[in-house]
Structures are given as C-alpha cells and as structure tokens.
Structure 1
Amino acid sequence: MVTGAVTGTAQAIPVGPVDLGTLPGDDESTVLAVNEAGEMVGLSLVGPTPKRSHPVRWDADGRIMALPTPGGTEGQVRDINSHGVSAGYVLTATTAVPVRWDAAGQATSLQLPPGYHNATAWAISDTGVVIGNWLTPDNQFHGFRWDPDGAATDLGTLPGETWSMTEGISGDGTIIAGSAVRSAANQAVRWVNGGPITELAPQGVSSGAGRINKDGVAAGVLRETSSGPPVPAKWDRDGVTHPMDWPSPHSVWIYGIGPTGYVVGSGYLNPPRRSALIWDLDGHVAALPDDGLGADAEAVNAQGTVAGTFRSQATVWFRNGERRQLGTLPGGTRGQGYRITDNGRVVGVASNAAGKSHAVYWTLG
C-alpha cells in the first residue's frame, strides 16, 4: 500500500516542548482539549491510581489556573470552545454534577430535571450548548443536551431500547453525534436541531461515529454484515454515508477528523503490524511512514498535518510525507501528541526527569 502522502511545503523547526506543569501539590497533568486561540483545558493529578483529578485551564502562554469545583474537591474539564468557555463535571460526595466554566473561569453547575443524577458533561459547542450523559430516574444511561437558557433535554434512545451516549457536537450546536444500542449492538446515532435520535447506518449490523468536526461531519466505522469487513466512513451534515477506502479485512479504528475532513486512525492495513493511517479528502487511505515499527495517529488539522506518536515520541506527519519527532522534556524519555490546531500547536504529554507525565505543547511555526 501507499505510504506517505502528497504535496506540501517545507516546515519550520518545532519549538518546545513547553512544560505546562501542575497545580501545587500535584505531580502529573494532561491536556484534554485546545482551541484555536491556544487556550487549553485538562487535569492536574495526584496520588496513586486512581489518581485524584483537578480541572485546570492554561492560557495560550501556558499559565495554569485551577477551575472551581462547586460542591466537591475533584472533577474533570473535558472541552473548551472558541470563546474560552469550557465544560466538564464536579465529583461531589455522592454524585457527578455537570459544570460550565466561563471564559474567566467562573463555574456554573448545570441544573438537572428532578430525579436525574450522576451527570457528566463531555463537550461544548461554540454557541454554548453542553452535551453529556446522565442516569435517568430509573437508572438508565441516556445522553443529554443542556442549552444556554438552562433547558436540559433527555436525548432518549432508539425505539424499545434503554441506552444512549453523546460523544461530540458541531460548532454551531445543531448536530450531536453519539452511540446507542440496537439489537444488543452499538450503533452510530445523531440528533439534529433538538430532534429525535436517528441512526447513521440503519441497515448495518453495528456502527460507531464517535468523532465529529465543527462542521458537523462525523467519522467512524460500520459493519454491514456480521461476517463482513469493517467499513470506515464519514457522514456529512445531512447524515449521508460516504464510505472510505479500506482494502483489508482486518480491524480499523478512527481517532480523529479535522476541520476540512481529513480523517486519521489506526488499523491493520499491512498485517501483521498495525499502521497509523490518514484518509484524504476523497477518502483514499495511506499508511503514515513508520519504518516498519508501527505508530499511532490521533489528530489532524485543516491542512492535513497529523499529530501522534512514533517510537514513544510525540510526532507529526506533514502532507509532503515528512515525519518529524517533536522532542522530550529534559531528562525525560517519552512523549505523546494527541491534539493539533490549525495554526500549528500540538498538545500532549511528556515524561520529566522524575518519570512523571506532564501536559506539554509544541509549536510548529
């Protein structure tokens, strides 16, 4: 199969990694989301597994700020939108409560309907719509939508079923992608303009579309028959399926979709090794150069630049076929890249001299 890719220009030498540190008393950290302004949110962590997690925000220059946890001492912030507003949840003594933090870091607990509980927020649109998952009064797991006016909506399940989950939302807040159960199998679903749940691959045996970009285009994998091969696919804003190349009967996973429609993932394109993969805008697949050693591709930006990991180092692959490792912290030996912005900020983690994982970023220039 083809490795590498197409055209591009020479790339500037990356700068970094910049160590984003931890809150006082904590020993590890991780970034979970970054916006185009370079503002990042994630976790400052302490203790043995399971670690205690504290929601934090870093400004574009890497200065850390603890986010308030009303009603509790732990929590997670999972996403940040283009206006610097973020969403996540706080862990109280008895339950999880969804929270929105404004651009100044002030917290608002999201109100739930009576009887709903243990709610976790996972994503926020640029219009301020928060999505997540909660337990219903009869303890069924459902996706929810919380609007800026305070209205909370149970997004329901497929007919006759009891389970659903939200996973991502478009920038304008109109399209939510997620999963639901049908016939004891996972199915890719979406909700549009607050409407009812619909399947993205209603004729398939199983499917998943856990990645969605700001334009509302989702990506994932479906199986058309129980014994058939996996089919990677994109679903456009109208919900139309666009299969992507996969000339292999073996497993494939989708990890990211960029703003313009590039898709990245991993799969057994050339067994027995697993390859990092990119699908171009026409759906053609290529294995990213890995010297036969394997690699992971986790995110891609509008230009098709991929962030991932190669030989335990954070790495980027450019559209001209160039692969570049991004470097480690002083005394550290490991790194991982898993988010990338259109203006060339790669975020991830790297180990320090003490062997602890810290959130970091690199600038591609």
Structure 2
Amino acid sequence: MQQPWSSNAGLRTHLIAGAVAGALAALAAPVAVWAGEQAAPAAADALVSSPGDTEASRARTCIYSVINLGPEAGAAALLNERGQAAFGSFIGGGITNGFFDGDRVHDIGSLGGSYTLIHGLNKQGVVVGESEDAEQFSNILAFAWTVGGGMHALPGTTVSSARAINDRNQIVGQRPAPGITARAVRWNPGGAVTPLGPLPLSLSEADAINQQGFSAGYADVAGGAIHAMLWDRAGNQTDLGTLGGTLAFGEHINERNEVAGESDNAANDKVLGFFWSRDSGMVQINVEGGGSRLVAGLNNRGEVVGDTVIGERSVAYQWAMGRGVVQLPSGSAVSSDVFDINNRSEMVGMIERPAGDGGGRRAVRWPALTEPIDLNAHLYRPPAGLVLEAGAAINDDGVILAHSNAGLVMLRPGTRGTDAPVLGPLLGLPDVIEVGQDLALTVGFVDNAAAQTHTASVAWTDQCASPAPTVSEARGVGQVRLRHQFCAAGYYTVKAQVTDSGGRSTAVQRDIVVDASGLASLSGKGTLAGGGAAAARGYRDLPLHFALWAPLASGTQSKSAAGSPVVMLSGPFHFRSDQVSTAASSGQQARIEGTGLLNGRAGYRFVLEAWDGGGKQGASPDRLHVRVTHADAATGVEAVDYDNAAPAKARTALALDRTAVAEGGLRLRN
C-alpha cells in the first residue's frame, strides 16, 4: 500500500506490506542493522486477487473491533499486511512515534536527539526514517528500527533520510555526496550502499521501492528542472521526465515497475497526476478539476487513486489505463477524499456530510467502484462518543487504520481486538477555554473482559492541581470523570489513561489552548489550503498543518504573564519554534517572529502574519502567511526555505489561496 495521509491531508509516504517476526533479531547487530536477503517475491500477477460480488458483500457486512494506537497521526500512519502499524503524532509541541506489533504499542524513540520522523514499514516490522543524534552539532541520520534491536543509524553522515523499505529489507532514501546536497541511495542488507543513478546536479531522492528492488523518486537535471526517476535493482536510472513543467516526483511504484506521482504542467501553475509504464511512458491523469490535490496510491493492478478539486469541493477518484478516471461515489456528501487502495481494489478515505445530514467527516470504505460504507456503522462495541473521521490505510486482509476524535485507531475485522481497554475521546472540552474555568470531562471505555476492573490517571501539562479522576463501570463498559481548572494561559496537553486489572493500559490525549481575560494572544490549529509558492528544492507541494499559541504585546501590555509560546508546522517539512522574539497585534492582524528547528536542525528564522477573519457566516477566511528562512553559510544572504505567499511563478496545487486556512482556524484576542 502507499499511505499518503497526514492529519488533515496528504503525507506522501511509501509503505510496504506484510510481516515475518523471525527477522527482528537481525537488527540487534551494531553494523548490519537490517535482515539478510530473502527469497524473491512472487510475480506481480500472483499478488492480485480479483474483486467480485462476494468481496463486496463481505465488505458491507464486516464488523470491526477497535484498537487505540496513539494521538492524531499527523506525521505518519503506516500499515503492513500482518496488521502491524507505525505512526507519528504531532502532540504537545513535539513528535511522538510508535509501533504496534499486533498486540501492544512500543515507543520508537530517537538516536539521542529530540526529533524523529518515520517514513516506511515492511512485513518484518522494520521501521525506517530519520532521527536526530546526540552530537553537539546534531546530525539528522537515516535509521532502521525494530522492537528487538532498537534504533540504529544507517551508513552515512550529517543529513540523510530513509524513505521506504521493501520486504527484502532493502531501504531507499538519500544521503549527502561530495559537492551536492543529497544523492538517492539504496542501503542493502549487510551494510553495502548502492548509489542510484549518476551524480545529480544538486539533489536526488528515492521515495518508494518494490519487492524486486526497483525504486522511484526524483532528481534534478540540466537546466535546473526536477524530473521523476525510476532506478532498477542495479541502480541504473530511467528519466521519466515531466508533464511539461519543471517539477515532477515519482511517489509510488508497484510490482509491475509502474510509477505514479505528480508533475507541474507546462505553465508551472498546476499540479497534475501521472502514471508511467514502459509501454505507455508518462501519461497525464485527466481529472475533471484539471489537476491533482493528491495522488494517494497505486496498486498492483495499475489502479491509481487520488483527489481533485471541482469547483470548491474535493472529489476522490480512481484511474486505470484502459478505463480512465472514475469519480468515487459519494452520495450526497459535500466532498470526498481517498487515501489508500489495496490489491483487491478496496479503498479508504472520508466524506464530508452536508449540514442537513448532521455534517462532519466520516471515515469510509469503497468496495471497488461502489457506494462508500460509513465505517462508524460497522463497529463492534465502540466506546461512547467515538467518531471515525477518515480511513488512512487498508491492507489486503481488510485491516484499516483510521483517524478518529480519539486519535489513530486500528479497525480489525471481527469482534476480537486486543486485551487492552478501548477508549473514546475526551468529551466536554469547549472550543474556548479560559484560565480558572471549571472543566468537567468524561472518557468512555469498553473492555472485552467484562469481569475486569479499571483505574484511571490523568496528566495536565500546566502542572496545576486537580482532583483524581473517578471511574464507574459495569460489565466491561465504563466512564472516567475528570475535573480541572487551568491556572495559566498557554498551549497544553491533557492525557487520560485507563488501566485494567490485568495490567493493560490505554491512553488518549489532546492539545489544548487556554486563554486568559485581558491577555492578548494568537492561537490556532488547522491546515492551510495549499503548498508553498516558494520552497526549498525537493519539497513537495503538500498542505501545511499548523499549531500555535503566543501571548502578544498589545500596546503596553506585557506578554510575561503566560506560558511559553508554541509554533509548530508540518507537511512538506517539520518546524518547531525554540524562541519567539516578536509577537504583536494591530486590529485583526498579528505578527510573530522568532527562530526554530527545521527538520530537527537549528538556525532557521520564521515570520508568521495572521489575519482573524471573524469566524462568522460570510466572513473572510482566516489567513496565515508563513515564511521560513536561513542565512546562507557562504554568503550570509537570506535564503528562503518556505514562503506560502511568494509572488509570481507560484506553484500551486489548483491555484488556491495558499494563505487561507482551509481547516481549523485562528483566534486573535486583543
């Protein structure tokens, strides 16, 4: 499967199917940090099952047990064929990463620093990505991790990233090369490294790999354009080109060595989906909206799924060479999005219901090209208040990862999940919380062992005193009651944990913004409508997610009577503030400046300019201008890493206003 989900729109993440537990011990060695070669995979046709009426019927009658995995998985949500998962969450101003082995969740940790991003998962349960080490001048290094062996850096120095791994434990990504920023490479079992393609002008990267060792990605070429690339098992390069523009990225590859991805059009003002094969060359995916908001996945049948925008609504589609584009049925939904497809042509995503139908997002599954199934209607003993908002990934056995109001959950076909309690969301949190406000929250839970008893604990990161939680329960169904008063304004996290009498625990947590009467502040959490008009080379045109809170100097008002400011950005990169030097407002506008870490590395400056649209019917949307820069080491000149309001030659997904807050919102208090 290719898993592109990010909390509210697409991370391009390649994930590989399946699992074999016996290879985990191979990662314990300090140098050979992944397992040895395995038998060659079966032919592509043998990996494909034909969908039919029986499968469609099964999909519509299937019941799923729910397993809590972790907080919102905005950084990554990866699933393999064994029903294991790896996930990353932006929570509490940082990133947490976990691995679910089918029964329990394990912390992935880091190489000693404070930053880890995960990108790939294979059937052995090997997780790969990039992590900060503990050196004085920290490095960001590619890593491989398993439950038994922990985390080990892959061969390379300074700045490298492992982007994908196949079931033969071949890992692809990029690492520095003499005279250039990065070169696409493959780390082979045993430690040898294979350079992919000739040395690029300045950068190349491999982002996906199949079981045969063929990989896809991108590289820059003469003239400065970036082309989609294919590399064979020997590292030989095939230039896939572009659809007429100057940027193209190979994002997904299947077992027939077909590639799907995105490319600019000839005017460089629109992003288009493409499909490539040896026979067809690069073919544009012609969707009605004219461009792709997201190319989400490619299966072994050569079927591509993605999203476009028609008018102002997102529309999910499936494409195949002989059939062309088919819009996925969505009934009366306001919009639809698809995020994964398996080899049975089953897809998962979400629909947004109209206000007359209750509104809100619902996680759905499409059994082939049929009407979507609301997964919320097929849950076995769900806890109180649980709402599944989007399907993120699906494997060939029908196991699903889904985003919910209680965080990331796994949906396992059948009525048996794990022995741990299943928790619903924190209920009772108001949209606006004030210092001193008396909060009364509840968390519902269920347990498959009806005779067990449960205890609860809670952690509020403002460190203010609160009474202990209380638990009421009967026959495996219960409720936790929490009370709290925040004693200072700021950006905080609440974490509630339920433990059964067998020693199994489950937790849910939420970030919370607390305001104070008389204190000027800017807060918000959400997603910007499009990618950056100006961005460092190689950054994808992904939506930008933000979470922020900062006290503001308004007139003579001091900003010292509150907690520490937080600015966190994620999508095409991850940014976390370490210092805010200026935070002020005038009318409905605010400006915040400071420094922070871009993908774990210090020395970057940011400027945020925010406009509060008022949040009323017919009002202008909230807007957020984001600019991240650094000083060039050689010249000292300011270099732009990201700017979502840069003029002219703006590369956008569909000519959207990139500063508009599409999901969530901003709140400015003067």
TM-score, with normalisation over the residues of structure 1?
Answer: 0.74
Shift of 1:181: 2.5
1:177 and 2:260 matched: yes
Residue correspondence of structure 1 range 9-28 to structure 2 within 5 A: 15-23=103-111, 25-28=112-115
Check conservation: 1:230, 1:249, Cα contact below 8 A. no
Report the Cα distance in structure 2 between the residues aligned to 1:214 and 1:180, rounded to whole angstroms.
22
Aligned to 1:193, which of 272, 278, 303? Answer: 278
Aligned to 2:127, which of 40, 45, 63? Answer: 40
- Cα distance change, pair 248–188 in 1 and its aligned pair in 2 (3 A): farther
Task: Report what 2:223 is aligned to.
Answer: 138
Deviations 1:228-262 (A, max 9, x none): 85442222465643432122463333222223222
User: Per the alignment, in what secondary structure is the counterpart of residue 295 of structure 1?
Assistant: strand
Query: Which amino acid in the other structure matches residue 256 of structure 2?
Result: D
Report the Cα distance in structure 2 between the residues aligned to 1:154 and 1:293, rounded to whole angstroms.
45
Q: Greater shift after overlay, 325-334 or 92-101?
A: 325-334
Aligned to 1:106, which of 164, 185, 192? Answer: 192
Report the Cα distance in structure 2 between the residues aligned to 1:68 and 1:96, rounded to whole angstroms.
14
Check conservation: 2:362, 2:389, Cα contact below 8 A. yes
Task: Report what 1:6 is aligned to.
Answer: 61
Check conservation: 2:289, 2:311, Cα contact below 8 A. no
Aligned to 2:368, which of 277, 281, 293? Answer: 281
- Cα distance change, pair 191–141 in 1 and its aligned pair in 2 (3 A): same
Shift of 1:128: 1.2
Percent identity of equivalent pairs: 21
Report the Cα distance in structure 2 between the residues aligned to 1:122 and 1:244, rounded to whole angstroms.
27
Residue correspondence of structure 1 range 137-286 to structure 2 within 5 A: 137-158=222-243, 160-173=244-257, 175-182=258-265, 184-193=269-278, 195-201=280-286, 205-207=290-292, 208-222=294-308, 227=311, 230-236=314-320, 238=322, 240-248=324-332, 250-271=334-355, 272-286=359-373
Shift of 1:298: 1.4
Shift of 1:169: 0.3
Task: Report what 1:80 is aligned to.
Answer: 165
Residue correspondence of structure 1 range 114-129 to structure 2 within 5 A: 116-129=201-214
Shift of 1:197: 0.9
Shift of 1:63: 3.1
Give the aligned length: 321
Check conservation: 1:261, 1:302, Cα contact below 8 A. no
Q: Greater shift after overlay, 256-265 or 136-145?
A: 256-265
Task: Report what 1:304 is aligned to.
Answer: 398
Report the Cα distance in structure 2 between the residues aligned to 1:65 and 1:261, rounded to whole angstroms.
36
Which structure is higher in RCO with an 8 Å CA cutoff and minimum separation 6? Answer: 1
Check conservation: 1:215, 1:237, Cα contact below 8 A. no
User: Per the alignment, in what secondary structure is the counterpart of residue 155 of structure 1?
Assistant: strand
Check conservation: 2:139, 2:158, Cα contact below 8 A. no
- Cα distance change, pair 145–279 in 1 and its aligned pair in 2 (3 A): same
Report the Cα distance in structure 2 between the residues aligned to 1:292 and 1:330, rounded to whole angstroms.
18
- Cα distance change, pair 311–227 in 1 and its aligned pair in 2 (3 A): closer
User: Per the alignment, in what secondary structure is the counterpart of residue 83 of structure 1?
Assistant: coil
Query: Which amino acid in the other structure matches residue 238 of structure 2?
Result: T
- Cα distance change, pair 46–267 in 1 and its aligned pair in 2 (3 A): farther
Query: Which amino acid in the other structure matches residue 253 of structure 1?
Result: D
Report the Cα distance in structure 1 between the residues aligned to 2:388 and 2:408, rounded to whole angstroms.
13
Residue correspondence of structure 1 range 292-331 to structure 2 within 5 A: 293=387, 295-319=389-413
Report the Cα distance in structure 2 between the residues aligned to 1:266 and 1:203, rounded to whole angstroms.
20
Report the Cα distance in structure 2 between the residues aligned to 1:157 and 1:16, rounded to whole angstroms.
44
Larger Rg: 2
Query: Which amino acid in the other structure matches residue 109 of structure 1?
Result: P
Unaligned runs of 5+ in 1: 336-365
Check conservation: 2:173, 2:184, Cα contact below 8 A. yes
- Cα distance change, pair 227–242 in 1 and its aligned pair in 2 (3 A): closer
Query: Which amino acid in the other structure matches residue 19 of structure 1?
Result: D
Shift of 1:172: 3.4
Shift of 1:88: 0.4
- Cα distance change, pair 66–46 in 1 and its aligned pair in 2 (3 A): closer
Deviations 1:312-357 (A, max 9, x none): 433122456999569899897549xxxxxxxxxxxxxxxxxxxxxx
Check conservation: 1:170, 1:214, Cα contact below 8 A. yes
Q: Greater shift after overlay, 196-205 or 289-298?
A: 289-298
TM-score, with normalisation over the residues of structure 2?
Answer: 0.43
- Cα distance change, pair 314–322 in 1 and its aligned pair in 2 (3 A): farther
Report the Cα distance in structure 1 between the residues aligned to 2:340 and 2:188, rounded to whole angstroms.
26
Report the Cα distance in structure 1 between the residues aligned to 2:344 and 2:114, rounded to whole angstroms.
37
Report the Cα distance in structure 1 between the residues aligned to 2:226 and 2:319, rounded to whole angstroms.
25
Q: Which has the higher helix share?
A: 2
Query: Which amino acid in the other structure matches residue 264 of structure 2?
Result: V
> How large is the RMSD of aligned CA atoms in angstroms?
3.6
1:68 and 2:151 matched: no
- Cα distance change, pair 325–235 in 1 and its aligned pair in 2 (3 A): farther
- Cα distance change, pair 299–240 in 1 and its aligned pair in 2 (3 A): same
Shift of 1:292: 7.0
- Cα distance change, pair 270–317 in 1 and its aligned pair in 2 (3 A): farther
Task: Report what 1:96 is aligned to.
Answer: 182
Query: Which amino acid in the other structure matches residue 217 of structure 1?
Result: E
User: Per the alignment, in what secondary structure is the counterpart of residue 162 of structure 2?
Assistant: strand
